[in-house]
Amino acid sequence: MAEAAETEATEHPWMSPEKTEINGRDLTITVLTVGDDRHERGGLAASQSNETTSNVSDRKLGLGERAFSAAGAAFLSAIIVNPLDVAKTRLQAQAAGVAYSHPLSNLISRMAYFGPRTMFADLRCSPSCTRAGVHGTVSMCPPDCFQYRGTLDVFYKIIRQEGFSRLWRGTNAGLALAVPTVGIYLPCYDVFRNWLEEATDKNAPSATPYVPLVAGSLARSLACATCYPIELARTRMQAFKGNQIGKKPPGVWQTLLGVLSHVKSTNNIQKVQGYRILWTGMGTQLARDVPFSAICWSTLEPMRRRLLSFVGEDSNAASVLGANFSAAFVAGSLAAAATCPLDVAKTRRQIEKDPGRAMRMTTRQTLMEVWREAGIKGLFTGVGPRVARAGPSVGIVVSFYEVVKYVLHNR
């Protein structure tokens, strides 16, 4: 019997013989050891190591490399999705009461424009207007011919009335905003996430799933407060049309100077306080961007880790790109739709031309005002172009950022 037990142990190493004595007789009892447990633990450890591979490599990259990756991602995204941002802003500004009309609809502009080279076709209103006068001239064109009825209508009328290039109105402000903002945002998110994950793993493991939410909120708040005046200029540049024919619309610097033109005080202290107008609506911006970041990162992180776990150690630049773009596209779209009412409130506060009223407006008051005027439809004005912009934008930024980090880490 002992020989049989030895043979069994030799053939099946996970079976260990154990001897005991009952009533003076030696009995060999074969006990199943949990040899497979080591294998299972090894598999689990490998899975966990795959999920944290990107975090480990993140810690090996310097802040300069992260900032370079983020700046490149922001530049690419700002160029591609700017037309959708213009459409979203025009729809929200129109809902807020900004009147859009033909540049020649007022007497002064028409007198300045008339000349020997004036063509009759230049005076026609939008071809999409079916209620134009007999001759289709501006004077006979009703105001509603210049009202936007949707995203595609915004594109059509901007191209016909202002030119194709105006779809990229505010791109210079967008670049001036996106490069430093994302350059601060994504590297800070990485730093905060890595630091918080280390802290929660040691002290509060149950809080680890909430790390992306907290890290994203902190990083976005810091980036927003730093670059907000440029965001203010960009929104105003996109919202208002140029009413003077042949004159170049104001740029970022001129727009900010126009905002500051109301600050008239000989007292330096009051003048410094007056500069607060450059941060008009920042509370609304934070009320929009912090929840956006919280929703986006808490959705994105588990999704992309899940996608990357399918690849495991065989990951390459293409798999990193695909996993990050897919996860970021879905997360960005969901976050954009959820925070659209706050975006409407932000736009209203930023385009307010009365500095006194602008300083008194609050996010809650603005939302209530929109609700009274147009109900739920008003709160989600521009949700189509906003979601259509946010999904690709977040996907491009995050995937480009992660791919560049991957390349820099593996060079």
Please name the residues in contact with 202: beta carbons below 8 A apart, sequence gap of 6 or more. Answer: none
Euclidean distance between CA atoms 39 and 60, whole angstroms: 30
pTM exceeding the 0.85 threshold for the entire prediction: no
* Axis-axis angle for helices 211-239, 171-203 (nearest 10): 170
57-71, 134-148, 208-222, 245-259: segment of lowest average pLDDT: 134-148
Are the beta carbons of 283 and 228 closer than 8 angstroms?
Answer: no
**Confidence category of residue 101, pLDDT binned at 50, 70, 90:** low
- pLDDT digits over 292-308, tens only? 999 999 999 999 999 99
Are the beta carbons of 174 and 85 closer than 8 angstroms?
Answer: yes
* Residues facing residue 22 across a β-bridge: 25
What's the longest Cα–Cα distance across the chain? 126
> Given this model, what pLDDT does residue 134 score?
46
Euclidean distance between CA atoms 142 and 131, whole angstroms: 7
In this structure, what are the phi and psi dihedrals at residue 97, rounded to the nearest 5 degrees?
A: 110, 0
Are the beta carbons of 329 and 397 closer than 8 angstroms?
Answer: no
Euclidean distance between CA atoms 325 and 395, whole angstroms: 4
Q: Which of 232 and 211 is assigned the larger pLDDT?
A: 211
Closest of 285, 281, 276 to residue 362, by C-alpha: 281
Residue written as tokens 């008051």?
Answer: 365
Amino acid at 210: Y
> Given this model, what pLDDT does residue 43 score?
43
- pLDDT digits over 72-82, tens only? 888 888 788 88
- pLDDT digits over 211-229, tens only? 999 999 999 999 988 888 8
**Confidence category of residue 179, pLDDT binned at 50, 70, 90:** confident
Rg, Å, the chain Cα set: 30
Q: Other CB atoms closer than 10 Å to residue 57's CB: what's the count?
A: 14
Euclidean distance between CA atoms 365 and 343, whole angstroms: 14
Average pLDDT over residues 92-121: 57
**Confidence category of residue 89, pLDDT binned at 50, 70, 90:** confident
Q: Which of 39 and 64 is assigned the larger pLDDT?
A: 64
